[in-house]
Amino acid sequence: MSTQEKRCEAEGNCGKEAIGRGRWIAGISMVAGAAVGATAMYFCDPHRGKARRAELQQKAGGVGRRAGHEAAIKAEDLLNRAKGVVAKADAAFERCEETIDDDVVAERVRSHMGHITERTSDIETEVVSGVVALRGTVSPDKRRHLVDEILAIPGVKGVRDLLTSAGSARNVPAST
Dump pLDDT digits (tens) for 135-166. 988 888 888 888 899 998 888 889 998 888 87
Q: In DSSP terms, which residues pair with 133 in a beta bridge? A: 126, 160
76 in any annotated domain: no
pLDDT of residue 176: 40
Instruction: Give me the DSSP letters along the chain.
Output: --HHHHHHHHHT---HHHHHHHHHHHHHHHHHHHHHHHHHHHHH-TTTHHHHHHHHHHHHHHHHHHHHHHHHHHHHHHHHHHHHHHHHHHHHHHHHH-PPPHHHHHHHHHHHHHHH-S-GGGEEEEEETTEEEEEEEE-HHHHHHHHHHHHTSTT--EEEEEEEETTSGGGSPPP-
- Give the residue with greater pLDDT, 105 vs 169: 105
Residue 173 above 70 pLDDT? no
Residue 21 above 80 pLDDT? no
134 in any annotated domain: yes
Q: In DSSP terms, which residues pair with 165 in a beta bridge? A: 138
Q: Mean pLDDT: which of 5-9, 50-54, 118-122 is highest?
A: 50-54
Which residue segment(s) compose the domain that 122 sits in? 102-171
Indicate the number of domains in the chain.
2
62 in any annotated domain: no
Q: Mean pLDDT over all residues of the chain? A: 82
Average pLDDT in the 94-116 region? 81
50 in any annotated domain: no
53 in any annotated domain: no
Q: What is the CATH number of the domain that holds 139?
A: 3.30.1340.30
In the chain, pLDDT over 70 holds for what percent of residues?
81
120 in any annotated domain: yes
